[in-house]
Amino acid sequence: MLDRILTSILTRADTGARYLVTFGAAAMVCVVSAQVVMRYVFNSSFDWADEVSRIAFVWTIFLAIPLGIRDGTHVGIELLVKRFPVPLRSLLARVTNGLAALMMVVVVWTSIIVALATWSERLGAINLTSSVFFLPVILGALHATLHLTQMALFPSEPTT
C-alpha cells in the first residue's frame, strides 16, 4: 500500500517537474536569445535578463535532478559493484539509496534555514527575494527524497 501511495505521489510530482523543467528551459532560451538580439542588434539590453535566466537555470537544474534519479541517469561507478552477486547488489542499492535519502533530508533542512535567513535580501534588477534560488533546491531535494525512499524500500531487481 505504501508503495502505491509513493508511486501515485511521485507520478504527479514527476509530471509537474517535467512541465516546470520544460518551461524553465524554454524561458532560458527565450530570455537569453532576446538579450543577445537586444545587445547586438539594438545596442541595448534588458536589466533583468541575467537574473531571470539565472533563476530559470537554477530552477531547471534542481527540479530535473529527481527525474535523473528516477531514471538512473546520474553518474555512477559500477565497476566493482557489477561483480557482486545479485543479492549483495540489491542490499547495497537499498542501503545507499536510504543513505542518499537521509542526505537529501539534510539538504532540505539546511536549504530551508538558509532561505529563511536570506528572505529579506532582494535581487538587484528585479524586486524578488534572493531566496528564490533556494526554493528549487528545497523542492528538488524533497522530490529526490521520495524517489530515493521508494528505491530503498521497494527496489527493482538488479540486472545481471
Amino acid 123: pLDDT: 86
Amino acid 160: pLDDT: 53
Q: Is the pTM of this model over 0.75?
A: yes
> Three-state DSSP class for 85?
coil
Query: Mean pLDDT of successive 10-residue segments in the chain (160 residues)?
Result: 90 95 95 92 88 94 94 77 87 93 97 94 87 94 96 75
- Rounded Cα distance between 29 and 57, Å, is 10
Amino acid 146: pLDDT: 96
> Three-state DSSP class for 129?
strand
116: which 3 cell numbers?
Answer: 529563511
Residue 43 phi/psi, 5° resolution? 55, 40
